[in-house]
Structure 1
Amino acid sequence: MSDFREGEQRRQYFRLPYPASEQPVLVCGDVEHKVVEIAEGGIRVVLKPSIALDVDDIVSGTIQFHDEQTESVSGRVLRLDAGHAVVQLTLGISQHRVMQEQAFLRKKYPNFLRKP
């Protein structure tokens, strides 16, 4: 018998989605990607059409947040889908930063993170 109920989140880390107007930017060299979701262990980014990535490629760069603070990240591409890359981080975002971002989004967009 499974300890998980159907539909229950089974991820190791809490994922924090962003509204389009608040998405941080991942800077990799001279290329910038919008970050649509963060977690301590991974990120989801919008890929530029001119960038060719494959599963298992290494990605590293700096995420620039709304408050001008940055965090260095590095990891491998876990999955590619619908113009997005899911990157599993080996050098990731701190839990403190995720909590700061969640508090910011809840304050500015009180209904955005609520489940329907």
Structure 2
Amino acid sequence: MSDIEQKRQYYRLKYPKRARPYVRFADEMFQVTEVSEGGIRMVLNNFTCMYKGLSMKGVLNLYGDRSIPIEGAVLRFDNDEVVLQLRKGPTFKIMVDQQRHIRQKYPSFFERLRGTAA
């Protein structure tokens, strides 16, 4: 067993503010701060009415003109963000492509994240 044990099933990709993807549910659009194969974290809009367990379907728009249909439910609220647990979302391949893009385009962002994790 390694010194560092993975506690999560899926790697969560954090996005720098200027590179955040967005998700659309019906007529509302939300900035996304983190994405994984199993969930997303997004910034709440002031006029949005959501509750824990609410089922949602929408489209996640990622770098490279990738539009991913997603389905899930509200898992929890965290300050001004909401976490959705996905039943349908991005594939592992898409997540690897997104991570590669962010690492190449924003290398200092990943260095800062690595510094806070150590």
Question: When the two structures are superposed, what TM-score results if normalisation uses the length of structure 1?
Answer: 0.90
Alignment of 1:26-105 (within 5 A): 26-105=23-102
2:89 and 2:98 map into 1 onto residues whose CA distance is: 15
Taking the aligned partners of 1:103 and 1:8, their CA distance within structure 2 comes to 23
Which 4+ stretches in 1 moved above 4 angstroms?
Answer: none
Q: Secondary structure at the match of 2:72?
A: strand
Which residue of the other structure, out of 11, 20, 25, is the alignment partner of 1:23?
Answer: 20
Q: Which moved more, 1:59-68 or 1:12-21?
A: 59-68
- Contact 1:78 1:87 (8 Å CA) reproduced: yes
Q: Distance in 2 between matches of 1:25 and 1:89?
A: 15
Question: Do the aligned residues in 2 keep the contact of 1:4 with 1:10 (CA within 8 Å)?
Answer: no
How many residue pairs are counted as aligned between the two chains? 113
Distance apart, 1:56 and its partner CA = 0.5
Q: State the shift of 1:111 in Å.
A: 2.2
Cα offset, 1:85, TM superposition: 0.8
CA distance in 2 between counterparts of 1:78 and 1:49 reads 19
Structure 1 position 55, deviation (Å): 0.7
Per-residue CA distance 1:82-113 (angstroms, 9 max, x = gap):
11110000011111111111000000011212
Task: List alignment gaps of at least 5 residues for structure 1.
Answer: none
Structure 2 unaligned regions, length at least 5: none
Please identify which structure carries the higher helix content.
2
Following the alignment from structure 1 to structure 2, what is the Cα–Cα distance between the partners of residues 46 and 96? Answer: 25
Identity %: 32
Distance between the aligned counterparts of 1:17 and 1:59, measured in 2?
A: 22
